[in-house]
C-alpha cells in the first residue's frame, strides 16, 4: 500500500466548514459557525430543514463560541481584540438585524454567567469593571441593553452560579491552599453560608441547580480518588452519588433543558462511555448506536426535549452532526465539519498505556501514518497544553495533518493531566520540567523500542504548556529530539508566574500549589526554565509568538530567540502582531502550520506542501531567523 495522497493544509487545518451546531430553544432553527469568504468563522443560521441559511455576523476576528439566548431571537458571543482576552459580550438580533456590544467598556473582560428559560429577556454577565482582579455579576435586559449590578464579588469568588430563575445562589472560592469552598444562600438577598469545603487535593465544581432550587449537582472527588457526580440537598445536607467510575473522573453531564434533573453522565477512559441515570433517555442512547462507529455526544436540545443535535466523533472521519427525533428515534444528517475530507484516508488513533520509569501508568494515543512502511517512521511527540487538561480520542486535525505528512504521532496524558483522578493529577504538582518531562521522554523510548518510530528522527511539538515542554526537552534532553516546535510557550517560569493576568487572581493559589511560588520556589523554578539554559539547546527550534499574549511576558519568546541567536544556534521566531495566546486569524494559523511543516520536513524528512512566497497571503508574520530578518509585506 502506498502512502496516502497529500491533503492540502487549508483543507485539514482551515476553519471547519460547519461546526459548533446549536438548536434554537423552540427547535425551529439551527445555528453553527462557518467561515465567510475571507475564511473568518461567523455565526450562521437556517431553518431546521436547511432553508434560509445565511450568516448573521461579519466579525473581523474569528468567532470561536456562541450560544442562543432563551428568547430564541438572539445569539450571544464573546469577542476580544487581536487576542488580548479582553472579551466583550455581543448580542446578534436575528429579526431586527444588527450586532450590539452589551459590555462596551474599555479594559473590562466579560464572561457569560447564565441564561434561563423562565426569564428569556434576561441574562447574567460577569465583569471585572470595578476591580480588574475580580468579576461582579450584572443583570442585563436583552431587549433594551440595560445593565445593572446584581452581585458584588467580595474579593475571593472565582465563579458565581445562578438558579433556574437567575438568582445568584452559589459561589466557588479558591482557598489559599488550592482547595475550594462552596458557598450558598437561600435567596438572591440572603446571607452566604459555607456548604462544603475541600482541600487542595480534591476537586469540587458546581454543575448547576435543580429546578426546585434545593439541590446542587456537583463534580467532587471528596471521599474518592476520582471525581463523581453528586446531588447535594441544601436543606438537609444529604448527598447522593449519581454516577462514578473508579478509574476516571466524570467528564460530561446531561441535564434536562427545563426540568434540570440529571439524565446521563459520560466518562472517558480511552473513549467516551455513558452512564444512564434517567430511564427516559435509555432507549435514545441505545438507538444512537446506529449512527455508526464513533463516540456520541448530545450537543444541543430544544426546550421541549423533542429534538437533539447529536455529534458523532470518530478518529479517522471529521465530526458529523445529526438531528435526532426522540419521538421516532430517527436521525438525519445535518453537517459534516469537513465534508472535503469525506473520501480522504485518515489514520487510526490507537489507545495505548505506557509505563513511566517510576511505574505510573500513562494513558496515551498513538497514530501511525497510513500505508505500509518498510522502516519505522519519524515521530512527532505532540504535547497538550494546560497542562490541566488531557488528550482525547477522536478526529484531531493536527494529528491527521502530521500523520498525512508521514509522521507517527504520540500524545501522552502525562502526570498532571486531568480526567484520571486526583492522585494522577497531583503527581504533577511542582514537576514542570522534572517528572512531567520524564513521562514524555519515557513515552518516546517506549515508541522507539517497540518499532513504532525511528529514534534518530524524533520531534516535539506543542503550544502553551506543550510549548514549554518542547523547550524543556530541547534544553534538558538535547540529543533525544532532532528539533522542537514551541508556540506561545513560557520559557521563564518565574516571569510567567509574576506576570500572570490580573483576572487570574482567583487561580493564584492553584498556580502556587501546582507550579510554585516565584519567590519561595524561585531556585527550583529557574532550574527548569529553558530560557536560563539556552546554551544547552542543540536542536533547531521554531518559536511561535503572539504579540498580544496576556498570559506571558511580551519578551519571553524574543528573549529566548536572542539567546539562541547569540550563540549561533539554529532558531526561527515567528511573531504575529495581531494574535495572543493562540493563533486565530485564518491566514496566520495556516501560515504558522506551513512553517511547522517545512521545518519538520527539513529536519525529519517528512512530506511537505510548499509554501509559496515568504508568507501566506494576508498573514502578518514577522520572521526572524538566526542571522536574518524577514519583515511583513
**Residue 496 lies inside a defined structural domain of this protein:** yes
To which H or E segment does residue 440 belong? Answer: helix 435-449
Give the Cα separation of 592 and 594 in Å (integer): 5
To which H or E segment does residue 319 belong? Answer: none
**Residue 474 lies inside a defined structural domain of this protein:** yes
Tell me which DSSP letter residue 378 carries.
P
**Residue 507 lies inside a defined structural domain of this protein:** yes
Of the candidates 302, 391, 429, 549, the residue annotated as catalytic is: 549
User: Helices (DSSP H) in 519-573: which residue ranges?
Assistant: 522-527, 556-566
- Cell 446531588 -> residue: 231
In this structure, what C-alpha cell is assigned to residue 172? 466557588
CA dihedral 99, 103, 104, 106 (to 10 degrees): -140
Q: Is 623 helix (H, G, I), strand (E, B) or coil?
A: strand
* Domain boundary residue, one of 277, 292, 313: 277
Catalytic residue status for 549: yes
Of the candidates 300, 464, 553, 619, the residue annotated as catalytic is: 464
Q: What CA–CA distances, in Å, run from 454 to 237, 266, 331, 373, 623?
A: 57, 37, 45, 12, 31
**Residue 620 lies inside a defined structural domain of this protein:** yes
**Residue 519 lies inside a defined structural domain of this protein:** yes
Please report the pLDDT score of residue 631 as a whole number.
47
Task: Domain of residue 565: give its range.
Answer: 349-630
For 418, counting Cβ atoms within 10 Å of its Cβ (0-12 exposed, 13-18 middle, 19+ buried), the class is buried
Of the candidates 77, 581, 603, 619, the residue annotated as catalytic is: 581
For residue 291, what are the contacts with CB-CB under 8 A and spacing of at least 6?
A: 310, 312, 320, 322, 331
Catalytic residue status for 464: yes
Please provide residue 423's backbone torsions phi and psi, each rounded to the nearest 5 degrees.
-65, -40
Shared domain for 225 and 354, answered yes or no, is no
Shared domain for 255 and 358, answered yes or no, is no
Please report the pLDDT score of residue 1 as a whole number.
43
Q: What CA–CA distances, in Å, run from 616 to 9, 390, 547, 594?
A: 12, 31, 18, 8
Q: Domain count for the chain, please give it.
A: 2
**Residue 72 lies inside a defined structural domain of this protein:** no
Radius of gyration of the chain (CA): 24
Please report the pLDDT score of residue 370 as a whole number.
87
* Domain boundary residue, one of 246, 277, 308: 277
Give the Cα separation of 566 and 581 in Å (integer): 26
C-alpha triplet 44, 48, 52: angle, nearest 5°:
55
Give the Cα separation of 212 and 330 in Å (integer): 32
To which H or E segment does residue 255 belong? Answer: strand 250-255
* Nearest to 38, CA basis, from 61, 19, 7: 61
Instruction: Give the domain CATH number at 366.
Output: 3.40.50.1820
Q: What CA–CA distances, in Å, run from 510 to 218, 428, 513, 522?
A: 20, 12, 5, 17
Shared domain for 433 and 534, answered yes or no, is yes
Mean pLDDT of the chain: 95
This prediction has a pTM of: 0.96
Catalytic residue status for 557: no
* Nearest to 113, CA basis, from 77, 137, 79: 137
- Cell 529553558 -> residue: 530
Interstrand relation of 379-383 and 458-463 (parallel, antiparallel or unpaired): parallel
Shared domain for 479 and 388, answered yes or no, is yes
Instruction: Give the domain CATH number at 252.
Output: 2.120.10.30
Give the Cα separation of 377 and 471 in Å (integer): 23
In this structure, what C-alpha cell is assigned to residue 508? 493564584
Give the Cα separation of 398 and 415 in Å (integer): 23
In this structure, what C-alpha cell is assigned to residue 426? 497531583
Please report the pLDDT score of residue 633 as a whole number.
40
**Residue 5 lies inside a defined structural domain of this protein:** no
How many other CB atoms are found less than 10 A from the CB of residue 28? 13
Shared domain for 509 and 420, answered yes or no, is yes
Interstrand relation of 215-220 and 228-233 (parallel, antiparallel or unpaired): antiparallel
User: Helices (DSSP H) in 542-627: which residue ranges?
Assistant: 556-566, 586-604
Please report the pLDDT score of residue 632 as a whole number.
47
Shared domain for 442 and 567, answered yes or no, is yes
Please report the pLDDT score of residue 2 as a whole number.
63
Q: Which residues of the chain have pLDDT under 50?
A: 1, 629, 631-633
**Residue 3 lies inside a defined structural domain of this protein:** no
Spatial contact of 76 and 123, defined as CB atoms under 8 Å apart: yes
pLDDT in tens, 22-55: 999 999 999 999 999 999 999 999 999 999 999 9
Please report the pLDDT score of residue 628 as a whole number.
57
Shared domain for 477 and 387, answered yes or no, is yes
Spatial contact of 219 and 204, defined as CB atoms under 8 Å apart: yes
In this structure, what C-alpha cell is assigned to residue 549? 499574549
Strand order in the sheet with 41-47: 19-23, 29-35, 41-47, 54-55
For residue 227, what are the contacts with CB-CB under 8 A and spacing of at least 6?
A: 203, 205, 219, 220, 221, 249, 250, 421, 422
- Counts of helices then strands in the chain (DSSP H, E): 11, 37
Half-sphere exposure of 132 (CA within 13 A, CB side): 10
Can you give 105-170 as a three-state secondary structure string? CCCCCEEEEEECCCCCCEEEEEEEEEECCEEEEEEEECCCCCEEEEECCCCCEEEEEECCCCCEEE
Shared domain for 373 and 267, answered yes or no, is no
How many other CB atoms are found less than 10 A from the CB of residue 383? 30
Shared domain for 248 and 353, answered yes or no, is no
* Domain boundary residue, one of 240, 259, 277: 277
Amino acid at each position: 500500500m502506498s502512502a496516502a495522497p497529500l491533503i492540502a493544509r487549508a483543507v485539514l487545518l482551515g476553519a471547519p466548514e460547519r461546526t459548533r451546531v446549536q438548536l434554537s430553544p423552540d427547535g425551529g432553527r439551527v445555528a453553527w459557525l462557518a467561515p465567510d469568504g475571507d475564511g473568518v468563522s461567523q455565526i450562521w443560521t437556517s431553518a431546521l430543514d436547511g432553508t434560509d441559511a445565511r450568516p448573521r455576523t461579519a466579525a473581523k476576528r474569528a468567532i470561536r463560541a456562541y450560544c442562543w439566548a432563551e428568547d430564541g431571537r438572539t445569539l450571544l458571543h464573546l469577542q476580544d481584540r487581536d487576542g488580548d482576552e479582553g472579551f466583550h459580550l455581543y448580542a446578534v438580533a436575528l429579526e431586527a438585524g444588527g450586532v450590539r456590544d452589551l459590555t462596551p467598556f474599555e479594559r473590562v473582560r466579560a464572561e457569560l454567567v447564565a441564561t434561563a428559560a423562565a426569564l428569556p429577556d434576561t441574562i447574567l454577565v460577569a465583569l471585572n469593571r470595578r476591580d480588574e482582579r475580580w468579576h461582579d455579576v450584572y443583570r442585563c435586559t436583552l431587549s433594551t441593553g440595560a445593565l445593572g449590578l446584581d452581585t458584588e464579588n467580595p474579593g475571593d469568588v472565582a465563579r458565581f452560579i445562578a438558579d433556574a430563575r437567575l438568582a445568584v445562589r452559589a459561589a466557588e472560592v479558591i482557598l489559599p491552599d488550592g482547595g475550594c469552598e462552596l458557598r450558598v444562600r437561600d435567596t438572591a438577598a440572603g446571607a452566604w453560608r459555607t456548604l462544603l469545603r475541600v482541600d487542595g487535593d480534591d476537586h469540587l465544581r458546581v454543575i448547576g441547580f435543580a429546578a426546585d432550587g434545593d439541590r446542587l449537582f456537583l463534580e467532587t472527588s471528596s471521599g474518592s480518588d476520582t471525581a463523581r457526580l453528586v446531588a447535594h440537598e441544601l436543606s438537609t445536607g444529604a448527598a447522593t452519588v449519581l454516577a462514578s467510575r473508579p478509574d476516571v473522573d466524570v467528564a460530561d453531564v446531561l441535564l434536562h433543558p427545563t426540568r434540570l434533573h440529571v439524565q446521563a453522565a459520560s466518562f472517558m477512559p480511552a473513549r467516551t462511555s455513558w452512564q444512564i441515570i434517567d430511564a427516559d433517555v435509555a432507549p435514545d442512547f441505545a438507538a444512537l448506536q446506529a449512527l455508526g462507529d464513533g463516540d456520541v455526544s448530545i450537543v444541543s436540545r430544544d426546550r421541549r426535549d423533542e429534538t437533539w443535535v447529536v455529534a458523532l466523533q470518530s478518529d479517522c472521519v471529521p465530526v458529523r452532526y445529526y438531528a435526532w427525533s426522540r419521538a421516532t428515534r430517527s436521525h438525519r444528517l445535518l453537517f459534516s465539519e469537513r465534508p472535503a475530507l469525506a473520501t480522504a484516508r485518515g489514520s487510526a488513533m490507537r489507545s495505548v498505556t505506557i509505563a513511566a520509569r517510576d511505574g505510573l501508568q500513562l494513558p496515551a494515543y498513538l497514530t501511525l501514518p497510513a500505508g505500509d512502511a518498510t522502516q519505522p517512521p519519524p515521530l512527532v511527540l505532540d504535547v497538550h497544553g494546560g497542562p490541566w487538561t488531557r488528550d482525547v480520542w477522536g478526529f484531531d486535525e493536527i494529528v491527521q495533518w502530521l500523520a498525512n505528512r508521514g509522521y507517527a504521532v504520540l500524545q501522552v496524558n502525562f502526570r498532571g493531566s486531568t480526567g484520571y483522578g486526583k492522585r494522577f493529577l497531583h503527581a504533577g504538582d511542582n514537576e514542570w520540567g522534572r517528572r512531567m518531562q520524564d513521562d514524555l521522554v519515557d513515552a518516546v523510548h517506549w515508541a522507539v523500542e517497540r518499532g513504532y518510530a525511528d529514534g534518530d528522527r524524533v520531534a516535539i511539538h506543542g503550544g502553551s504548556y506543550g510549548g514549554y515542554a518542547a523547550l524543556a526537552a530541547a534544553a534538558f534532553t538535547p540529543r533525544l529530539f532532532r528539533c522542537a516546535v514551541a508556540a506561545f510557550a513560557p520559557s521563564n517560569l518565574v516571569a510567567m508566574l509574576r506576570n500572570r493576568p490580573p483576572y487570574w487572581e482567583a487561580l493564584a493559589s492553584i498556580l502556587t500549589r501546582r507550579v510554585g511560588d516565584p519567590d519561595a520556589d524561585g531556585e527550583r523554578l529557574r532550574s527548569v526554565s529553558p530560557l536560563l539554559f539556552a546554551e544547552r539547546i542543540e536542536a533547531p527550534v521554531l518559536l511561535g509568538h503572539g504579540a498580544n499574549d496576556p498570559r506571558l511576558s511580551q519578551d519571553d519568546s524574543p528573549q529566548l530567540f536572542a539567546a539562541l541567536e547569540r550563540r549561533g544556534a539554529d532558531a526561527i521566531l515567528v511573531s504575529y502582531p495581531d494574535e495572543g495566546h493562540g493563533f486565530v486569524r485564518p491566514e496566520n494559523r495556516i501560515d504558522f502550520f506551513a512553517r511547522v511543516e517545512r521545518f519538520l520536513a527539513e529536519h525529519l524528512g517528512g512530506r511537505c506542501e510548499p509554501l509559496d512566497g515568504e508568507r501566506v497571503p494576508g498573514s502578518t508574520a514577522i520572521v526572524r531567523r538566526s542571522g536574518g530578518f524577514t519583515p511583513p509585506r
